[in-house]
Amino acid sequence: MNIFDRIKKDHDEAREVMSKLKDTTARAEKTRLELFTTFKNDMWAHHKVEEAVFYNFLRDVTKMSKDSYEALNEHHVANGLLEELDTFPVTSEEWGVKFGALSEIIEHHMDEEEDDFFPTAKKLLSKETADLMGERFDARKKVVLAAIMPMDEKEFEAA
């Protein structure tokens, strides 16, 4: 899967989780917390790996530095809001309002990547590079997600 399809796959999954989260009410505490934890970890890993694999190359090797910095800045803002959301109970009114704002930022960012950034980047990457980037993205994201999972009891026992 090339880098564009691989990133789009994550975006579509994120869109689905965001729409599920929007459908939850403050009473569905457990579901909301579970969905949000998955969403938060996945988005954080997505942003970090996207920066390391995709934007880093486009910024340094091609002339897309301005657009790359803009995207990186949006990642920074979104990651900050994800962390901030973690400090509010998922049942609070603040959480709902902040999640609404965050999802708008993320949706806008993903649409911009797909509609504006991808077409330009596609012209700059060879098929081989785009394929290799897709593979690297997938492999690295698995490692990042595994690395940020809390240790379970069995791992403590083995220590």
Nearer to Fe ion, 67 or 113 (CB): 113
Helix ranges (H only) for 50-152 are 56-61, 65-85, 93-112, 118-124, 127-147
Binding-site size for Fe ion (CB under 5 A) equals 2
Cα dihedral 114, 141, 17, 76 sign: negative
**First-residue to last-residue Cα distance in the chain:** 38
Q: Which of residues 48-107 bind Fe ion (CB under 5 A)?
A: 50
**In contact, 59 and 65? CB cutoff 8 Å:** yes
| Binding span for Fe ion by CB under 5 A among 45-53, 124-132, 133-141, 145-153 | 45-53
Shortest Cβ 1–Fe ion spacing (Å): 15
| Minimum CB distance to Fe ion, residue 66 (Å) | 15
Residue with Cβ nearer Fe ion (91 or 140): 140
Which residues form the interface with Fe ion (CB under 5 A)?
A: 50, 113
